[in-house]
Amino acid sequence: MSFGTVLIANRGEIALRVIEACRELGLRSVAVYSEADGSMPYLARADAAVCIGPADPARSYRNVASIISAAELTGAEAIHPGYGFLAESPHFVEVCEEHGLAFVGPSAEAMRRLGDKLAARETLERAGVPVLPGAGVPEGDEGILGLAEEIGYPVMLKPVYGGGGRGMRCVNSADEMGALVSGARAEAKTAAGNGALYLEKMLRDPRHVEVQVFADGAGRVVHLGERECSIQRRHQKMVEESPAPGLAEELRRRLHEAAITAVRATGYRNAGTVEFLVDEDGDFYFVEMNARIQVEHSVTEAVTGTNLIVEQLKVAMGEPLDWRQDEIAIWGHAIECRVTAEDSDRDFAPSCGTAAIRELPGGNGIRLDTALFDGMVVSPFYDSLLAKIIAWGQDREEACVRMLSALERFDVSGVATTREFLRRVVADPAFRRGEATTGFVGRLLAAG
């Protein structure tokens, strides 16, 4: 489907990325914004900007009727959802199609298939992709203890719908199950509108490795390498890098092949990410597949020399992928740090206030993805992400050194940020050796 005007149903740095991608392709861009975001400078970079409601995301960025109205008002023919908000809503995709709007992403059918994490597990298991032992939690919680015993403690409670770590709980024994189930169900229902849960065997201190995939409508499927995402707290990623350090080449190849299998098994189109856990023995297991562009896509762009947002738009217009698998090469090493408005000394409590910028990083090998500006009010309504700092080097050590310098230059006051904590991460000897696992942040915090 050809189109000339794209509405961006998101905010912040991803909205700016899509605006710039539209410019590269000669497309007209339409930005939408809430009343709280009316002063964001990137709005002036779009060809048109429309206010869609108050600060509350439910009445603005998640308000389907307001977004569709804005598209009709401005003559938009396509909608790019970015990440978060409506990016993984099959209902939103269907509404776009009903109004003759191209959705820049997968089909509603593929999204629905992947949005049900339990069904996605079963689909990929049938396709031969390794999964951890697991099963759905019975509606009335009866039999859940027997199910957990059968799988074997520790187990992980996971929401069937939604993402971002919301609703996930580690259960170490039967005594913990009751309270954790009720809390997980409530959080999952709040986050995704559905409190359904499933149980999965929990790995002790694994690595979290994901593969960036892309598929067009003509049957071409490629991967763009993998990303290491083990540095996380409460299942929220903080640092990502590509390629993943210390992976045996055979394991790396098998991860890539499993990701391609996942794409083909689900009939997926456009950009996506297949996530895996890797244990200490080098065995890996499917976790989930994200039906959208990821926050951390920037590190993949840095090592492949690609623009994934531009390619998303082109595939949505019906064009074939620009690359074959043998044309995609990994050059050097890239690390991304997510700087958020959180206080690491207060258990990463969100911080609000007016940001004052003294200095921002730049220079050779440094990329800064942000919509931050001096005097910006950081409100409690949206995600706490302030900026993504991406450091590229010819090798991993050079990328680490550049990242430390870039973090030092990220000098913002008025709100608490995670800058200093991220500097501790990158300077840590275990991280520098490439030995980080999902338990890394917990150990760093425990060490003071």
From CA 151, how far away is CA 201, in angstroms rounded?
6
* Three-state DSSP string of the chain: CCCCEEEECCCHHHHHHHHHHHHHHCCEEEEEEEHHHCCCHHHHHCCEEEEEECCCHHHCCCCHHHHHHHHHHHCCCEEECCCCCCCCCHHHHHHHHHCCCEECCCCHHHHHHHHCHHHHHHHHHHCCCCECCEEECCCCCCCHHHHHHHHCCCEEEEECCCCCCCCCEEECCHHHHHHHHHHHHHHHHHHHCCCCEEEEECCCCCEEEEEEEEECCCCCEEEEEEEEEEEEECCEEEEEEECCCCCCHHHHHHHHHHHHHHHHHHCCCEEEEEEEEECCCCCEEEEEEECCCCCCHHHHHHHHCCCHHHHHHHHHCCCCCCCCHHHCCCCCEEEEEEEECEEHHHCCEECCEECEEEECCCCCCEEEEECCCCCCEECCCCCCEEEEEEEEECCHHHHHHHHHHHHHHCEEECCCCCHHHHHHHHHCHHHHCCCCCCCHHHHHHHCC
From CA 106, how far away is CA 29, in angstroms rounded?
20
Q: Active site includes 252?
A: no
Catalytic residue among 28, 112, 292, 396: 292
Q: Give the neighbor-by-neighbor strand order of the sheet with 155-159.
A: 134-136, 197-201, 155-159, 169-171
Show Cβ contacts of residue 422 under 8 Å, excluding neighbours closer than 6 positions. Answer: 238, 239, 337, 339, 407
How deeply is 250 buried, as exposed, middle or buried, from its count of CB atoms within 10 A (0-12, 13-18, 19+)?
exposed
From CA 171, how far away is CA 84, in angstroms rounded?
28
Among all residues, which ones are annotated catalytic? 292
